[in-house]
Structure 1
Amino acid sequence: MQIKKGKLAIIAGDGDLVLSSIKSCKTQNINYFLIGIKEFYKDLTFPPDAYLSLNNIGNIFSILYKEKIKYIIFIGKVNKPSLLRLRPNLITIYYILLILLYYFRGDNALLSKIYNIFIRKGFKVLDVRKLLKKNIANDKNNNYKKFKKKITLDQINYYFNIAKRNGSLDKGQSVIVDKNQILLREDRKGTDNLILRYKLLNRSDNFSLLVKICKPNQNIYFDLPTIGPKTIKNIFLSGIKGIIVEKNNSLIANPEETFKLIKKYNLFYYAV
């Protein structure tokens, strides 16, 4: 990624990809400033240059201007808070009012509004994939041949398409499928909870799959679908037989470890 002039702000939530982003910056000699979201960023390996709680997140722009930030990436998980539980300072209240009409319309509407606020203030928001090229899902590790007695290519494409249709409703990136139908859909509690809900069904004798895709019209600067070692372990423990992801539009945390686990647990993997 070419950043010829200016400093990059990494606005970081939870997850292994934050560490990958920092290491990528160091490898490429990118001048970065790490802002950790206090309730979510917990990595002690790289203490943030600034910590912000959701209650004072409105202070972020004064920090960005002070540090002469030009570029921004958003990386890591930040759960959407209940407005009633926040105790925001005055500047944060101002920004809450700016996004209030979008807060309950769905994630994409809200994230696009937040994105536009940063753009209008003169910042350039970057696609995190430019920083995490080694973490982009591709089809090099597809192991379809090993499972062709269990599933057809037509079924794989069908499952991918029904996950896309579900995502078009802005309800979630993930579904669990089996026998040409959706068994469970991701809700606000996320993919880990979806996998746990499947485990409670006791359907481990079937060839059920997790399908995780980029929602149609999703703002790609936030929350690209991500899997990693934790996802694979949870899938195995739940009895799900594998995973379908969207190549080029999904990220894999710690790819080497992720694919070692897929092989170890004899799980199906296919990037469409």
Structure 2
Amino acid sequence: MAAKLGILAGGGDLPVRLVETCRRDGREFFLIALEGQAEPGWLSPAIPHAWFRMGAAGAILDRLKAERVEDIVLAGRVRRPSLAELRPDWKATQFFTRIGMKALGDDGLLRGVAQVLEQEGFRVVGVQSLIGDLLTPPGPLGRVHPDEQALADIAHGVTVARALGALDIGQSVVVQQGVVLGVEAVEGTDALIQRCGPLRRPGAGPVLVKCAKPQQDRRLDLPALGPDTVAHCVAADFAGIAAQAGNTLFLGREGAVAAADAAGLFLLGIEP
């Protein structure tokens, strides 16, 4: 029998999918809902869970141990809080003191979290090991294919995205006709798309390129896209989306591909 799973849940549909998967497979689980991050609407008394603020590291660890959790997965969008919002307890304060300046970026911070969890005796697993159909496959995902200009923009976007990722800044870039319209930082992909929409130039539309960071721990914070990403790109009159195959989570793929086809937007799994 599979070990009991602890789900550290942020926002979005991914925690919901994990709960559905555990129930389908008969796997025991316990969900930690992060205050200000997880979405409360779908959580019911039938789902074993507890709410904690992100800074309550000691209490979270104690509850996971009390629930006899062995494996832990980090799932869902998490907006980085300010220290005032975080209100770190003693365990969290020790953590931030130890990692110091190494964790200014998301990758460094998550690696530090994973290290603490493993030191406490848990095994950190990637969401893609639990839900098998989440990763973006290579090649065109719908009926629309990129043209030569889009392929050139994708190649340029990959170069920029890998450079950004190596600096632990972001995972996405928007390129149009060889010009970088914007890069992702703390605001996230949806805000990047909305910011670049008004910067669109005449002619062939922009392309969103998403790549994992070169140093990325594949258990943690893989790039993700879904129906909302497609909807924002359609609204901003983008030409398409290129995402790293095998390293990008694609939620709601069937509906997203249908929406992209209807709008004439290409979706492409790339292998940089």
Q: TM-score scaled by structure 1?
A: 0.89
The gaps in structure 2 that reach 5 residues or longer are none
What corresponds to 2:133 in structure 1?
134
Report matched runs for 1:17-166 at 5 Å: 17-47=14-44, 49-104=49-104, 106-139=105-138, 141-143=140-142, 146-148=145-147, 150-152=149-151, 156-166=154-164
User: Does structure 2 retain, via aligned residues, the 8 Å contact 1:135–1:253?
Assistant: yes
- When residues 203 and 88 of structure 1 are mapped into structure 2, their CA distance, relative to the original with a 3 A threshold, is same
What corresponds to 2:12 in structure 1?
15
| Identical-residue share of aligned pairs (%) | 28
Distance in 1, matches of 2:41 and 2:129, equals 25
- By how many angstroms is 1:69 displaced? 0.9
- When residues 87 and 159 of structure 1 are mapped into structure 2, their CA distance, relative to the original with a 3 A threshold, is closer
- By how many angstroms is 1:188 displaced? 0.8
What corresponds to 1:223 in structure 2?
221
User: Does structure 2 retain, via aligned residues, the 8 Å contact 1:203–1:239?
Assistant: no
The alignment of Structure 1 onto Structure 2 pairs a total of residues equal to: 267
Q: TM-score scaled by structure 2?
A: 0.89
- When residues 191 and 72 of structure 1 are mapped into structure 2, their CA distance, relative to the original with a 3 A threshold, is same
Distance in 2, matches of 1:74 and 1:85, equals 20
- By how many angstroms is 1:129 displaced? 0.4
**Are 2:203 and 1:199 equivalent residues in the alignment?**
no
Q: Encode CA deviations 1:36-62: one digit per residue, 9 max, x unaligned.
A: 112111143233511111242331110
Q: Encode CA deviations 1:162-199: one digit per residue, 9 max, x unaligned.
A: 32223212110000012234221111111111111112
What is the CA RMSD across the aligned residues, in angstroms? 2.1
- By how many angstroms is 1:81 displaced? 1.5
User: Does structure 2 retain, via aligned residues, the 8 Å contact 1:174–1:213?
Assistant: yes
Distance in 2, matches of 1:227 and 1:166, equals 18
- When residues 144 and 176 of structure 1 are mapped into structure 2, their CA distance, relative to the original with a 3 A threshold, is farther
Amino acid at match of 2:265: L
What corresponds to 2:183 in structure 1?
185
Could you tell which deviates more after superposition, 21-30 or 203-212? 203-212
User: Does structure 1 retain, via aligned residues, the 8 Å contact 2:144–2:266?
Assistant: no
The gaps in structure 1 that reach 5 residues or longer are none
- By how many angstroms is 1:238 displaced? 1.1
User: Does structure 2 retain, via aligned residues, the 8 Å contact 1:73–1:125?
Assistant: yes
Provide the secondary structure at the position in 2 that maps to 1:68: coil
- When residues 62 and 88 of structure 1 are mapped into structure 2, their CA distance, relative to the original with a 3 A threshold, is same
**Are 2:230 and 1:239 equivalent residues in the alignment?**
no
- By how many angstroms is 1:118 displaced? 0.8
- When residues 93 and 241 of structure 1 are mapped into structure 2, their CA distance, relative to the original with a 3 A threshold, is same
Amino acid at match of 2:232: N
